[in-house]
Amino acid sequence: MLLKFTKMHGLGNDFVVVDAVSRKVFFNKQQIERLSDRNWGIGFDQLLVVEPPSHPDMDFRYRIYNSDGCEVEHCGNGARCFAKFVLDRELTNKRIINVETKCGAIQLRVLDDGLVTVDMGSPSFEPKDLPFIADPSEGLYSITAGENDYFMTPVSVGNPHAVIKVDQLTDELVATVGELIECHERFPKNVNVGFMQVINSSEVNLRVYERGVGETQACGTGACAAVVAGIKQGWLSPSVTAHLRGGDLHIEWQGEDQPIFMTGPAEKVFEGQIYL
């Protein structure tokens, strides 16, 4: 089958986006792995599949696959690219788009300057929602990776994250500790690992080791998780700019039971066709 696709990125976190509204498209794990290969395929962090909604009050459904072929719940950078894609392809003319994902409904708002704001829903700090195997006696969670213990804040923003506050961000820390914690036995479904350096109450530097992918240039859900963790711990204000390797995201969260709002860019790189 000849597959039409669009290559996009959100701050360097890159995606292949496929229209499964106009034409039914199905992928197996091996196909996704081949397409994601940066030497033998197209290359991407995630594959985004745009589908018709299953509920009448939704505009679309979108599915997210990591480069290892596994389907995941949520992707903030992908959501912004999704919004630009459906407008560019004239699948909708709405500027406020309601979308189904594996973790529930989200709302995307395309702004006049081309930036996209995503209502990411409310975070959860309940260990069972990640899931995370927690010791009820722990006041501040810690986890052992290699020879060291790391204090962390586990948080779900539709997908699971472990946020670790650090004084310095290094390649070795992100790659080595990130890989160890991603598949730690206390996270039965694995976890995304965020390393956050607090600059001041409204700015952080952030690097994220994503499960099934490794470190990416930017992670939207990781930025949301890091900021809400920092707000909960009293380090950050309700409005924060997260500096990632690929660029900046603006995150707002007013506290418990309130939704997270993430604003950032989305860019089309090119369109193409490839045989599955």
Check if 219 is active-site.
yes
Angstrom distances, CA of residue 272 to CA of 3, 65, 183: 8, 19, 35
List binding-site positions. 13, 46, 66, 76-77, 159, 192, 210-211, 220-221
Angstrom distances, CA of residue 65 to CA of 17, 78, 241: 11, 11, 27
Angstrom distances, CA of residue 13 to CA of 33, 35, 186: 17, 16, 27
- In the chain, where does DSSP find H-type helix? 29-36, 76-88, 171-172, 178-182, 220-232
Q: How far apart are CA 109 and CA 238, in angstroms?
A: 20
Please classify residue 89 by burial: count the beta carbons closer than 10 Å to its beta carbon, then call 0-12 exposed, 13-18 middle and 19+ buried.
middle
Pairing relationship of beta strands 2-10 and 142-145 according to DSSP bridges: unpaired
* Site of tokens 């975070």: 123
Pairing relationship of beta strands 239-244 and 203-210 according to DSSP bridges: parallel
Q: Which of 75, 81, 183, 224 is catalytic?
A: 75
Partner residues linked to 130 by β-bridges: none
List binding-site positions for substrate. 13, 46, 66, 76-77, 159, 192, 210-211, 220-221
Angstrom distances, CA of residue 53 to CA of 17, 60, 80, 103, 275: 17, 4, 18, 14, 27
Q: Which of 70, 103, 183, 219 is catalytic?
A: 219
Q: How far apart are CA 151 and CA 171, in angstroms?
A: 19
Check if 103 is active-site.
no
Q: Which residues are catalytic?
A: 75, 219
